[in-house]
Each structure stands twice: as structure tokens, then as C-alpha cells.
Amino acid sequence: MANISDLMGGEDRRIISTGNTELDKKIADGLPLESLTLIEGENDTGKSVLTQQIIWGAMKQGMSVDLFTTENTSKSFIKQMESMSLDISDYFAWGYFKIFPLHVVGFEWKKEEMAGILARLIKHIQKSKSQVIIVDSLTLFTEYAETDHILTFFTNCKSLVDSGKTILVTLHTYAFEEDTLVRIRSICDAHLNMKKALVGSKYVMVMEVIKVRGAHKTTGNVVSFEVHPGYGMKVIPMSFAKV
């Protein structure tokens, strides 16, 4: 029996949908498969929420996903997804979605160990049968890893993309020197920048599409959204938002 990804046909097969039509429209109809995407922003700007939405979209398209997270345990991540009405428990139970928590309490990180972990992470991605790989977030590594090791990690990710993987990496802007950020952004095929904006008396999350390789539509699109428990991401008119 053919899965959804086999039935999609045409150009759409080369795209990962977020599962949210309004959001997809702003990201050139979705992120390209076999690409390296950087999702960048400060704290609490929606980076993890966006990756959760992308995981959902990939699952609904019949893809398998590996998530390497420094932010959650497996249990807390599944609960977060459920709170957004994105129930991935069946995908997790059947092994189509795998979670690898990377933050080990009580472990003393050092530069030597960190370089080795980044290299092992690349090896794991290389051997994995999953089509989509998400690293959320890389910030923990930057506190201990040399700049060269970080850039080598992104270069290795780019090589894996060329061999068929689709990789998304989130990071906090503050954790990197500007020169390093410029080099990382240039390596990546797609770059999404997350911010906060003031709408009336409350803040909402804003995503700016800096670039998407091979996009048929113009990038530079901006979309603002809120996260509602029990509903998930809700796109709101940008005209109301002031960054």
C-alpha cells in the first residue's frame, strides 16, 4: 500500500509541509526536502514550536523523523505536542518518530567531549534511516565547542543533505559571534528568523523567511502567530504587529 508521500506527486513531493496551510504559504509552500534549514532566534520566540509543527507535517506525509533535543525529555516533548493538538504518540510507539534527549544532568561538559559529541551526532545521522533530522537546539554545544567544530558540524550536515537527508537546526542568536553566524547562514539552504512583536498589549511570535533555496515564491515573507493550548499555532494578521 502506497503511503502519502508516494501519492503526492509532482513538485509537492519535494516539500515538507508544516501541516498548517497559512504557515506553508509564507515558507514558499513548505521547506524543501534534502535541505539544511537554520531556525534562529532569541529565547521564547517559537523556535521549538515551529519544529514541532514541522515534525507533525513530516509525520502526516509519511516520513520518519529523529529529534535530538537539549530542551526536553521524551515524555515532556510528547506532552508538549499533545497540548498543541498534535498527537504523535502512535508515531513514537511504532518507531517512525524517535527522540534523543541530549541534556544529561550532572554531566560535566568540556571542549574535548563536546567536539567528540558533535562528531558522534553526525555519525548517528549518517547511519539513521530517518529522512528528517531535527537538532533543537545547538546552543548548549556552543558554550563548550570551538567555532571550528561548530562550522565543521554544519558542513558535515550539508554533506548529509546532499546524500538525501533533510536537516533542521535551531539555535539562539546570542550564543554566537556575528562572524560565525554569517558563515553558518551561508552554509544553510533555508534560514528562518524568529522574533517577538508587540500586538496591542501582548507579545506574539514572528517568523521571517530570510531565504529558502529553490523557492518559486519570493522569500522575505513575515508571519506572526500565537500558540493556543488545545489548538496549536494560530497565524494572526501581521498588520497588527509591531516588531
Q: How far apart are CA 162 and CA 34, in angstroms?
A: 7
How many CB atoms sit inside 10 A of residue 30's CB? 21
pTM of structure: 0.89
Can the peptide bond before residue 5 be classed as cis, meaning omega within 30 degrees of 0? Answer: no
- The residue written with cell numbers 520518519 in the block is 64
| CB neighbourhood size of 229 (10 A) | 9
DSSP three-state, residue 164: coil
Q: Is residue 230 part of a domain?
A: no
In a domain, 163, yes or no: yes
Calculate ∠ Cα 182-186-187, nearest 5°: 120
Position 104 scores a pLDDT of 58
What's residue 176's pLDDT? 92
Residue 229 lies in a domain: no
Instruction: Give the Cα separation of 148 and 142 in Å (integer).
Output: 11
HSE, side-chain direction, 13 A CA sphere, residue 65: 29
* pLDDT mean for each 10 residues of the chain (243 residues): 38 74 83 95 92 94 95 91 92 96 65 78 95 93 84 96 96 94 96 90 90 73 84 75 51
The confidence score (pLDDT) of residue 122 equals 95
Classify residue 205: in a domain, yes or no.
no
Residue 131 lies in a domain: yes
Q: Write b or e for each residue in 209-224: b if 16 or more Cβ atoms lie within 10 A of its Cβ, otherwise e.
A: bbbbbebeeebebebb
Quote the number of domains for the chain. Answer: 1
Q: What's the helix, strand, coil split of the chain in %, to 5?
A: 40, 25, 35
Residue 109 within a domain: yes
What does the DSSP assignment read for 110-159? -HHHHHHHHHHHHHHHHH---SEEEEE-SHHHHTTS-HHHHHHHHHHHHH
Q: In this structure, is residue 240 part of a structural domain?
A: no
The pLDDT of residue 220? 65
CATH number of the structural domain spanning residue 101? 3.40.50.300
Residue 217 lies in a domain: no
CA 32 to chain centre: 13
What is the distance between the alpha carbons of residues 232 and 85, in angstroms, rounded to a whole number?
6
Calculate the alpha carbon distances from 61 to 11, 47, 130, 183 in Å: 14, 21, 13, 32
The residue segments making up the domain with residue 49 are 4-21+29-193
pLDDT given for residue 232 in this prediction? 78
What pLDDT score was predicted for residue 163? Answer: 93
Give which of 95, 154, 99, 100 is closest to 122, Cα–Cα: 154
What is the reported pLDDT for 160?
97
